Amino acid sequence: MRLVYLLLVIACILACNASKNLEKNKIVFANNNVVCHRGAWKKNMLPENSIASLKHAIELQCAGSEFDVRMTADDSLIINHDPFYNNLLIEKTNYADLVTFKLSNGEKLPTLREYIKAGIENNTSTRLVCEIKPSEISKERGKEIATKIVKLVHQLKAEPLIAYISFDYDILLKIIEINPKSTTQYLEGDKSPEQLKTEGISGADYHFSVFQAHPDWIESAKKNNIFLNAWTVNETTEMDWLLANNFDFITTNEPELLFERKKMSPTSSGMKLVWSDEFNYKGLPDSTKWTYNVGGDGGGNNELQYYTNKDTLNGLVENGVLKIIARKETKENKKYTSARLVTKNKADFKFGKIEVRAKLPAGVGTWPAIWMLGNNIEQVGWPKCGEIDIMEHVGFQNDSIFGTIHTETYNHTKGTQKVKSIYISSPYSEFHNYSIDWTPEKIDFSMDGVIYNHIINEHLSANEWPLDQAFYLIINLAIGGNWGGKFGVDDSIFPAIFEVDYVRVFQTKN
């Protein structure tokens, strides 16, 4: 009896010390959106949901570290993701039987109390994101688990450190009933931000694919002051998209990689995504964003294709990408058909960073391009309007990408265009990021983040620098022409497909 009393006293002292430590080390959550999924475990091969992985997340100064809570048969709150631990069903096994099995690094299976205390120690930056797993036994037991967790958090005075997440909506509502000031985020992905706000839920913490399917929920969440979190994001393409859309949190198994992508994102330099097409739909390109140049006039370059209008044989969105397809078929005395999409009269842009992720068509005779023309082209004509070629490629020179400007003074008809190229090893099998960083003073052309052409404003006249007005964007696949057809056209390559994963335009925030 005396031993039991002593243990209780020690537990109280430790809890008191932990709460004092939290008060002493005032939490100012890290100014990033990186949330480690079950701690920062992957790079150093630590056990998931271990205290070691939690401590490493704190060392990295991540904004949050997520962990999973379940309750044993004897009502012990423990940290584990799966309902089974060493083939034992947690909810029907006593903690004493579970704890005999060590984690891979020698740690014992942590209790929630131990985990929170470890999370308080030397932590001034990282929120503990507590996922309460739905009960395998009953909905009511799930609420009981939530009640015990909230009481323990209160006992440890750890409320400022904790956010609660769950796939069980009733668990979150129970937490709000106990403490309306709790931070809660829903995981299932079947409720809109407006619904969450009505119920007092703080955040939408959904799989990234849910937001891709409901892009309107992103703006709705921001409008309704609902936290945006996406899980579990381990690929750079998804990371970049979420960073571009300024998500509050991104849950990942790859926190180090996410930190790297965050540094590279235009949003890290104070820019904001102002226009984009992610092509997360099917059918014709979005008519609210794109229109078409139609006809077979050769584009001023003696090209051989006829550009069609709203024809899914030449312009189609499927599987998350825009496909511009050139075909060998006769139309209006032209031997080939293709598509040329433009944002003219839908959107125009003046300065900023424009990114297009694309995979190019292979074959001699192809001439894919991502480029821009000044809005005043009807008034002053080309080249006075200015032209910015973000990316051009010709099939006969398969290892090169070109970035160019054309103006009245500098253009290809005079051989004075400002152009440079960069080597590319896999234009046809991999997607690459083609971009420009455009300011009043300069324009930088990049491929996969590497600047290869830097053009400065000489401050002479509009003949040299007409690049201080609005431009519209063009994406097309030409066949043949003065440059693309320099070595003829290989008719065995058709259909030739130019794939675009996304188009994003960032501008400096006002």
From 91, 278, 392, 499, the catalytic residue: 392
On the question of pLDDT at 13 being above 80, the answer is: no
On the question of pLDDT at 58 being above 80, the answer is: yes
Domain boundaries, the chain: 33-264, 291-508
Q: What is the pLDDT of residue 9?
A: 41
Question: What phi and psi values does residue 237 have, to the nearest 5 degrees?
Answer: -65, -45
DSSP string, 202-225: -EEEEEHHHHHH-THHHHHHHHTT
For domain 291-508, give the CATH number. Answer: 2.60.120.200
On the question of pLDDT at 18 being above 90, the answer is: no
On the question of pLDDT at 1 being above 70, the answer is: no
Q: What is the pLDDT of residue 25?
A: 53
Q: What is the pLDDT of residue 27?
A: 77
pLDDT digits (tens, 9 = 90+) for 176-215: 999 999 999 999 999 999 999 999 999 999 999 999 999 9
**Phi and psi based region of residue 185 (left: phi greater than 0; alpha: psi -120 to 50; beta: remaining):** beta
Contact, 99 vs 44, CB < 8 A?
A: no
pLDDT digits (tens, 9 = 90+) for 410-447: 999 999 999 999 999 999 999 999 999 999 999 999 99
From 387, 408, 430, 464, the catalytic residue: 387
Known catalytic residue: 392? yes
Distance CA 40, CA 35 (A): 9
Known catalytic residue: 194? no
Q: What is the pLDDT of residue 11?
A: 43
Residue 129: name the closest of 52, 68, 189, 70 by CA: 68
Distance CA 86, CA 82 (A): 10
Q: What is the mean pLDDT of residues 254-270?
A: 96
33-264 under CATH 3.40.190.80, yes or no: no
Q: What is the pLDDT of residue 509?
A: 76
Residue with the two structure tokens 């497909």: 497
pLDDT bracket for residue 308 (50, 70, 90): very high
